[in-house]
Structure 1
């Protein structure tokens, strides 16, 4: 009997020590329980998701959704919390990057000046590269990163005016293009535009001296830059619109440039080969059709007709036409600047231009002058009656063009920023939304109709809009707009909430509730603190500050950080895409659609945009409104335009490598 009991005990113990039947991703532990990812991994709660690759638990979150309403705070000033004032960070040109691949958004800032950085405590800095420490602070790694390494054997840092980030060698980290005007070589220390490669830890080295991007045989005047894979060969190319420059015979204009990447950091000029040739300013017909050189002020590249290939945009200064180059399936480009409705707004009014009135006052017999009213200004010879009544002289001073789906109809609309003055009259284009019909042809509903009109104080005024951002600040699933002003008196940043309900509409968020920042030049957005909503960083310009003028300048051109409050607790999903075989690894140009709660949103991974280089986080952020789950589709920018789909849960960030299932990212 004792022997029998012993056998029973033996079999009982053996049965108890059998490993539990764990699901995929779970591993049996010594305690007889299923652990996440490893035998000593955590035991996740019922509401958690096991991230086996990280042996960690992630908790999806879902609430009732968030939507900003008037009277509710949207942002708070967290500049000091992030150490920006203590670090002395000043500037007007901003980009977001991730220099070391740790998943925390880093920040790059430029003053926009031509001088070199010597990193001395007694001199002001021009460029800052700031690493996000992951605990709500930035640290200055500019000098240590090597991003300002000089070609010349001299101390100090290289001048930088334009910046764009992209993984040009497909090694998994973000490399950087730094552009500089060589109009005055002495002023920039005999340095040129450069491409620098990242070692993965945020340390940068110059590419070969023979790199075509340096433009050693010409004057370089880059006004913006966008990384883009124009032919879907899996290697990033670079679109660089060029501003005018001064020479012995006055102002010179030149062709904007497309540079083809070789996958190792080298670039070759393929502008003409891809049909991007423009003409000298010789006759009205050429210029009115948008066929002349631009006086570029910014760049962008985004797919405007949904065919998988990015159109190229160049915003132009000096009332001259903006350029839209329509992609022909990777085989080149066709100029559709005027046909698309992008070149200018079509308002050909010139009679209310004060300098036209000056001319007409003295030349009543000139064409169209008989009934033109008297001017309201002291007259000067600032009107060419033959030239200035043409469409090519009645456009805008376009600071930037931003791509984004504002009406959630599945195509990317445009928002243009413009500088205009009261004396220029109605023919001068203003900042406005261009609604895409899906075929890259645009209508302009007008600021009054959309709630974007700005009431002017007095008869004389200046609008200095040069930068902007399109993003969903309250996680309601609809893109909002931040409009950045520049350095004209009385200008400030303006935040607009998307109120679309059947028809596109916006309402301004009061500065006391949103972002209260004068002369707000430069803006980027990212979830810097990884709390599930998008924060905003803005610059400040003092270029026109005058002690005898309006007291709306700050003491220094301080960069300020505004922490998001409106999106706190909202439903969201974030997607960090990585291209696979045949796709550039940074996934620049990938198009993502997210459907949740009956609403479909569309975004693309951008490669840089805006006035002298702006760039938001490569990680795409989607507010989900009241939805707890979403269906996601990614169209990869490879030769086959491969499309993959997946279901995701709210409150999580996913890393999605092409050809694999999206994986939850754990902090």
Structure 2
């Protein structure tokens, strides 16, 4: 993320891009519909993100925090975990804690933080969700500025911090994190993205173009950090393999992470969005080894060969060719970048998508893809918020606040920006940071929850006019654990779609891993093919629409 002063640009030399010179598609009229309504008050969630009482223009103040939508208590609905900030030097009075809110099943919540035993009051950044110990319930990993926290779920939605015993306390400035089975041994390993090696003594003064104090560009600190990879030992502990895996050899201002098979070899790779530095694509070599191949694979820089301010990440099939693509959110005046997956590499196809011009007006952070209107084509939600003061402002009361954006998929990787911005009736300006998607009210469509930096959480109920039916798949391994990394392909007549079972995407957040398909005008029986993490395939046919189906490995055909 950049301030509007002291901007450092990285120019890549000898970078071979994969951009096409073909003309952009003819613009289509912008959609004019209300797709979301703010329901925070009705939900009962009164969480307010806090950074203490004093603004110092230190860079951590603008990074914000994330959240998780996950089933903490095993009752088949999505609960809400919200990561809290803190005063950086403890002058803001008693520190607030991260909070857990349990869902009643209808999108209303009760604060269960104290009952859950959660009293985490560090300067919080992000969180990841997964059953790391294989006991059937979901655990939380929380990244902080300082030591991170591993909250082990006791099975009754109460938690205990076992980070030290498990070997993952990892004292750094952690941002996004992900549970993933990189080695295919059946348990979840842990990847942690780190930002800067920072402390209050390393702060430097910066000013905006208006001459007022402002936040600095991260490269002013010249302190990028290495990310960390922890291998699950199968006994509730982890081994730090950052150095032996090769990941400690490359440093970056890491903010966002996504993972999956990005090279088509059946192995799990890891993509990191770096802020003002080249992104990293850690290609799995097997035997616990990784190499950064982002430059060779066309997804390190923009199509113009520039390092951009990467924040949030999506890894999903966004253009309907059944191959997952990458979408990365960026700073104002940069485009959000759409890396289309080709045979051997990615290509910056942003200019073809219809999203380029609109995304240069704002600074994107959290992002996610879902078929909000259920027409059979994925849409993209981006929550925005500046990191430095600039004119013109969207809100004089909150100079960093910006409107969110919804890009409506029209097919073939082309999108329209929904109007009014964010698809919401009232003026909706926030300093958006973490964001997650999921069906919080159990009505079968996908809702949005986002963190507004130094303000109340925003909960957006999906009210989009629907263009078709839906089906949702809760994909499980034979032992009942979430089948993270499995890929689901749905066929209904001529309609074919694919999704990955994933919770780690966006920015510092974790979303619902259940796979949701909008069916549009499709008709006929549903056929689902699941490709499990080890490459084996299984078919589940005859599924009814408008239902959530639990698909367990070994129970298909």
For this structure pair, what is the TM-score category when the shorter chain's length is used for normalisation?
A: 0.7 to 0.9
Answer yes or no: is 1:307 the counterpart of 2:265. yes
Aligned counterpart for 2:383 among listed residues 468, 484, 488:
484
Report the CA distance between 1:431 and its aligned residue.
Answer: 1.0
Q: Is the 8 A contact 2:403 2:422 kept in 1?
A: no
Structure 1: how far apart are the matches of 2:452 and 2:83? 11
Q: Is the 8 A contact 2:328 2:338 kept in 1?
A: yes
Structure 1: how far apart are the matches of 2:358 and 2:162? 50
Report the CA distance between 1:202 and its aligned residue.
Answer: 0.9
Aligned counterpart for 2:347 among listed residues 439, 443, 447:
443
> After the TM superposition, which residues 517-536 of structure 1 pair with which residues of structure 2 at under 5 Å, given as runs?
517-519=428-430, 520-536=432-448
Report the CA distance between 1:404 and its aligned residue.
Answer: 1.2
> After the TM superposition, which residues 602-641 of structure 1 pair with which residues of structure 2 at under 5 Å, given as runs?
602-611=498-507, 613-628=508-523, 629-638=525-534, 641=535
Q: Secondary structure at the match of 2:168?
A: helix
Bigger Rg, structure 1 or 2 = 1
Answer yes or no: is 1:234 the counterpart of 2:143. no
Report the CA distance between 1:344 and its aligned residue.
Answer: 0.7
Report the CA distance between 1:513 and its aligned residue.
Answer: 7.8
Answer yes or no: is 1:600 the counterpart of 2:555. no
Matched with 1:577 is 475
- CA gap of 1:330–1:306, structure 2 versus 1, over 3 A, is farther
1:88-120 per-position Cα deviation (integer Å, ceiling 9, x unaligned):
577752221110111101112224446699xx9
Report the CA distance between 1:462 and its aligned residue.
Answer: 6.4
Report the CA distance between 1:327 and its aligned residue.
Answer: 1.9
Q: Secondary structure at the match of 2:124?
A: coil
Matched with 2:129 is 165
Q: Secondary structure at the match of 1:80?
A: helix
1:124-178 per-position Cα deviation (integer Å, ceiling 9, x unaligned):
74522111111330111112212336xxxxxxx4553221000011111101111
Answer yes or no: is 1:213 the counterpart of 2:168. yes
Q: Is the 8 A contact 1:589 1:607 kept in 2?
A: no
Aligned counterpart for 1:454 among listed residues 354, 357, 363:
357
Matched with 1:504 is 413
1:536-577 per-position Cα deviation (integer Å, ceiling 9, x unaligned):
1223235xxxxxxxxxxxxxx122222112255831111112
Q: Secondary structure at the match of 1:328?
A: strand
Matched with 1:146 is 117
Report the CA distance between 1:209 and its aligned residue.
Answer: 3.1
Q: Secondary structure at the match of 1:143?
A: coil
Q: Is the 8 A contact 1:177 1:193 kept in 2?
A: yes
Matched with 2:38 is 77
Q: Is the 8 A contact 2:485 2:500 kept in 1?
A: yes
Matched with 1:474 is 373
Q: Is the 8 A contact 2:65 2:125 kept in 1?
A: no
Structure 2: how far apart are the matches of 1:88 and 1:224? 21
Q: Relative to structure 2, which stretch is displaced further, 613-622 or 301-310?
A: 301-310
Matched with 1:386 is none
Q: Is the 8 A contact 1:597 1:624 kept in 2?
A: no
- CA gap of 1:233–1:297, structure 2 versus 1, over 3 A, is same
Report the CA distance between 1:397 and its aligned residue.
Answer: 1.1
Unaligned runs of 5+ in 1: 1-67, 150-156, 183-191, 279-291, 349-393, 422-428, 543-556, 663-667
Structure 2: how far apart are the matches of 1:476 and 1:306? 28
Structure 1: how far apart are the matches of 2:236 and 2:87? 25
Q: Secondary structure at the match of 2:499?
A: strand
Structure 2: how far apart are the matches of 1:80 and 1:396? 37
1:616-665 per-position Cα deviation (integer Å, ceiling 9, x unaligned):
10211111112353111112224xx2211111121111111211249xxx
Unaligned runs of 5+ in 2: 1-28, 51-63, 203-220, 388-392, 395-401
Q: Is the 8 A contact 2:85 2:122 kept in 1?
A: no
Structure 2: how far apart are the matches of 1:107 and 1:623? 24
Report the CA distance between 1:330 and its aligned residue.
Answer: 5.7
Structure 1: how far apart are the matches of 2:132 and 2:500? 18
Aligned counterpart for 1:107 among listed residues 73, 80, 83:
80
Answer yes or no: is 1:430 the counterpart of 2:382. no
Matched with 1:369 is none
- CA gap of 1:430–1:590, structure 2 versus 1, over 3 A, is same
- CA gap of 1:462–1:588, structure 2 versus 1, over 3 A, is same
Aligned counterpart for 1:328 among listed residues 270, 285, 292:
285
- CA gap of 1:135–1:89, structure 2 versus 1, over 3 A, is farther
1:469-490 per-position Cα deviation (integer Å, ceiling 9, x unaligned):
1111011111101121113543
Give the TM-score normalised by the residue count of structure 1: 0.67
Structure 2: how far apart are the matches of 1:69 and 1:252? 42
Report the CA distance between 1:231 and its aligned residue.
Answer: 0.7
Structure 2: how far apart are the matches of 1:295 and 1:95? 23
- CA gap of 1:168–1:131, structure 2 versus 1, over 3 A, is same
1:261-319 per-position Cα deviation (integer Å, ceiling 9, x unaligned):
123331111123333342xxxxxxxxxxxxx41111122212223433221111111x2
Structure 2: how far apart are the matches of 1:591 and 1:656? 12
Aligned counterpart for 1:201 among listed residues 139, 145, 156:
156
Larger relative strand fraction: 2
Matched with 2:209 is none
Q: Is the 8 A contact 1:304 1:438 kept in 2?
A: no
Structure 2: how far apart are the matches of 1:102 and 1:115? 37
1:330-378 per-position Cα deviation (integer Å, ceiling 9, x unaligned):
6532221101111111425xxxxxxxxxxxxxxxxxxxxxxxxxxxxxx
How well do the aligned residues superpose, as a CA RMSD in angstroms?
Answer: 2.9
Aligned counterpart for 1:650 among listed residues 535, 542, 545:
545
Report the CA distance between 1:518 and its aligned residue.
Answer: 1.1
Report the CA distance between 1:240 and its aligned residue.
Answer: 1.0
- CA gap of 1:83–1:123, structure 2 versus 1, over 3 A, is farther
- CA gap of 1:435–1:513, structure 2 versus 1, over 3 A, is closer
Report the CA distance between 1:433 and its aligned residue.
Answer: 1.1
Structure 1: how far apart are the matches of 2:421 and 2:254? 35
Q: Relative to structure 2, which stretch is displaced further, 222-231 or 71-80?
A: 71-80
Structure 2: how far apart are the matches of 1:112 and 1:300? 23
Give the TM-score normalised by the residue count of structure 2: 0.79
Q: In the comparison of the two structures, how many residue pairs are matched? A: 480
Matched with 2:255 is 297
Structure 1: how far apart are the matches of 2:362 and 2:30? 27
Aligned counterpart for 1:539 among listed residues 451, 461, 482:
451
Q: Is the 8 A contact 1:533 1:568 kept in 2?
A: no
